[in-house]
Structure formats: structure tokens, C-alpha cells
Amino acid sequence: MAGDNNVVTYNRETEVTTTSIGSLHPLTQEKPALKWHQRHLARVILIILFAGVLAAVIAIAVLLAQLTTKVEELAAEKPTSPTEALFNTTQYSAPLKEGPFRLMPPTVVPTHYELFLHIHLPFDGADTLADKFTTKGSNVAITLKAVGDKVASITLHARHAVPTTSTSGHIKQFDKDKVTVVKKGSNPEETTAVTSVEYQTNDIVVIHLAGALVKDAEYVLKIFFDGVIGDDNTGFYYNTIVKDGKTKYLAATQFQPYRARRAFPCFDEPGFRATFSTTLKYPSRFTMTRTNGQATGAAAVDGIWLTQKHSTTPAMSVYLNAFLVSDFKELSGDDITEVLAPAGTYKVNVIGQDYLIDRGDAAFSGKLGGEMMKALSATYKQSFTAHLPKLDMAALPDKSGAMENWGLVLYGESYLMYQEKVSTADNKRGDASIIGHELAHMVFGNLVTCEWWSDTWLNEGFASYMEYQLMFKTKPSWQLVSTVIILGQFTRHFLGCRPRSSEGR
């Protein structure tokens, strides 16, 4: 009531009493009745939150149960380790059925490829080259070790069946007369006759033999084949650029995840690792060709053709192979001296369209690539000259993203070329991030490879982490640590999460 100098208060131990307002301190005047309502409101909110958390826990428990069941099903289908996957054939109770996507269990394991690729790529739109956009006249010799008992067939991949409207690369079907199997080191030469070549679904090719291979013996499987170069940016493909008002061609690769089979017959699964020696034969008008290994000696000249051999790669999965045929230009990097045994030097080179190289757009990525490789070597105590004597980073105008091929990393042009005073600081940081990501794959992805594509998140998770570590080490002035911390705090605040303890990480 207006003019009343008393206020009613509530005390848990007494009944309602009256107190003079004047007796309360002006800074502590409260309305206890309002507090009582707040307490009830808080109880209601807590009950609602508890119900929500309980519902979430129940939902997560159901999802985990379903996930556990799925994992158990998958675990029952395949071995639990890469070693078992490659060599322990007793893990599988069922024989190889028609059209499996995987070649497990293996009866033979590849150890080395000798690839000869005859590339019929026209230089420009006016080129009258015969058999355009094919690899007619190519061959591959695969050294195999028989790991199964009484092996009477060899199963591998080749993309042999495509729709008539498809423009993707593939291998034309070859018959038994194009295949030989010879026991390695035999004198006189011991040949196992090929009785037939069977083409199954899912790009599977089965080569049937007249007799069984000797267990633990090595054989050389040689296949003569003709291929088609695609134009869909996968497998071995061609693309065009406009230069001096003319349409010109280039060819490159994108074999991950399972596109190497479009370029040559192979064991196109990440669990199979082998060394590769590649020879490219291509029209002599192309001045910049690369593959994983270093060019060895001068290219042999045969009319309009050049034939260039390359050094042998370290053991790697087939998807890490790469080829580049172009008239691009190169910015050769400084010699990088290894401080780890075996001591040596290697170069990080940047390849791209000549106007970009001449303008200086490759300078930033070339220098940064060398610095990151040194940081990577120091961090993981790996001597990269023990594997390959060079690292080429090539910028392709038609490519999105990047691919970590060992010795020849292929990038989209915008991820590798940086124009001073035109490109933004964000462009520079973005380029550094992509370069660091791909170079991190030299360790996880190339040196260490997952057994199957379902584990690719391990490769990518490691590279995503290391791209920042490499930037921290090579560009401390950018103060990226502060940026990451601020972003992390913002994310936790936005999501209402508390920072986790560092224990157990």
C-alpha cells in the first residue's frame, strides 16, 4: 500500500514478520520474495536440463551400440593389421568371388613396376599427331612374389569397361597374347603359359595360368596394353590452356583414391606397396615432363619422340604415382643440405605456366617449400634424400585442391602461385596452409600408408595438424599461435564447452 514504511519478509524458521525499510542498508536492500521465485525457476531449469542431458545420453548409447555392432561386423570381414591383410591368407574363409572391390586375400604381392608409357598427346589444336589422346604401345612389367599355395591365376586391376559416352581414361582390353609370366632369375628362362584373360566387374582382371606358381618365388608379369587418356581430371587426363591465342595441351594425373587403374594395369589398393621405375615417351615439343623419380641421363630422340627414363622411387602405394607432360617452366630451388644420415642435397622446384614463373609468382612457395621440408626432416628425423633427390611442386590451371604424390606434388594454380602486391595476406596464409598440408603427407601418407581408404581420415587428420605446426616453425612472425588460440576460445565459448585438461593427451 502506498505510504507504508514496512515490508514483509519471509524467514524459513519463522512466520511472516515486518521490518522497517529504514533499518536496511541502502546497498543491501533486497526483495526476498523475488529470490524465492528465482529458486523455483532455477529448479525448473535444472530439471529441464537434466532431462535433456539424459535424453542425449540415451541417444548416444543407442548410436554407440549400433556403431559397435557395425565395427564388429567389419572386424569379422577382414584382418586387424596391414601385415595380415597382405600375407595371411588364412584370415579369409571364402575364396575370391567374381567382382570383388578388394583383392584380398592376395595370392601374389607386387614388389616393383617397370612402366613404359607411350603418350600420344597433341601439342596444340593444329597438331596432326596420330592416335591422339592415347597411350598406344605401352607396357608394364610387374615383379611379383607368390605368397599363396598353388597359385594358378593372377588378379589385378585395369579399368577396362566404360560407357560409350564416357570421357574418362581406361585400358583397352588385352588378350592372352599380350601377357607373359617369367620366373625371375631363371636360366634358362622359365615361362608360365597364359591360358586366358578374364574381365570381371569392378575393374578386376584375372590372368589364368597353365601351371601353378612356386610359393615364395618371384615372377615378372609383363602386359602390353593400349590406353585412353581421359579429360575428366581423374586418372591420367589431358586438359587445355590458351597461350599466345592458341589452344595447347597438357597431361597430368590424379590417381587417389583408385584411379591408377585407368592409366596402367596394377594392384590399385593402398595396402600394396612397391617401387616404380617409369619411362615416358612423348612428343618432343613438350619441354617440361616430370614423374616421381629424377630424370636419368638425356632423353633419347626418335624422330618426333623423346624417351626419358626416371630413377626408381621408394616403396609406395600405386596411387602416389604421378606424370606431368607440358611446356611449363621451372623455378629451380636452392640446394637443401641434409643434416641427417645419409647426408646429401636435394631441391624443391616449382613448375608452372611460364608467365607466372617469369612474373615471380613461384618465389614464395619455392622458398617456403624448402623451409618446410627442413622443418619436417628435423621434426621426424627423416632423411628425405634417402628416398628421392628432388621434390617438384607443379601448379595446374585446371586442378582443384592438391595431391601429395611422392616427389611430384600437384596443386591447383591458385594454391601455389602468389603475386606480390596483388594477392592478399589471406591468400599467402592459405597457400602456406595447403603447401604445409601436402608436404606433411610425405610422412603420413607416403612413408606410412593406411591399409584401406576407410582409414584416410588418419592421413588427413595428421596433415591438417602438421600444416599449422610447419607454419609455426617457418613463419613465426605471422603469430598464428595467437590466431589458433583465439579461434579455439571462440569455438569453446560459442559451443558452451569447457577447455579440456591437457592430461592424457
Q: How many CB atoms lie within 10 A of CB 130?
A: 8
Question: In a 10 Å sphere around its CB, with 0-12 CB exposed, 13-18 middle and 19+ buried, how is residue 137 labelled?
Answer: middle
Q: How many CB atoms lie within 10 A of CB 261?
A: 26
* 35 dihedral zone (left: phi>0; alpha: psi -120 to 50; beta): alpha
DSSP 117-181: EE-B--SBTT---SSTTB-TTEEEEEEEEE-SSSEEEEEEE------TT--S-EE----GGGEEE
**Cβ-contact 192, 211 below 8 angstroms:** yes
Which residues are CB-contacts of 480 (< 8 A; sequence separation ≥ 6)? Answer: 429, 468, 471, 472
Query: What is the helix (H) or strand (E) element at residue 457, kind and residue range?
Result: helix 456-474
**Cβ-contact 291, 280 below 8 angstroms:** yes
Q: Which three cell numbers stand for residue 332?
A: 629451380
Query: What is the helix (H) or strand (E) element at residue 336, kind and residue range?
Result: strand 335-337
> CA 281 to CA 310: how far, in whole Å?
11
Q: Which three cell numbers stand for residue 63?
A: 548410436
> CA 384 to CA 440: how far, in whole Å?
12
Q: Residue 66's beta-bridge partner residues?
A: none
Which residues are CB-contacts of 174 (< 8 A; sequence separation ≥ 6)? Answer: 197, 223, 224, 225, 226
> CA 128 to CA 227: how far, in whole Å?
19
Q: Report the largest interatomic distance among the alpha carbons of the chain, rounded to a whole angstrom.
A: 122
Closest CA to 442 of 368, 366, 391: 391
Q: How many CB atoms lie within 10 A of CB 426?
A: 8
Among all residues, which ones are annotated catalytic? 438
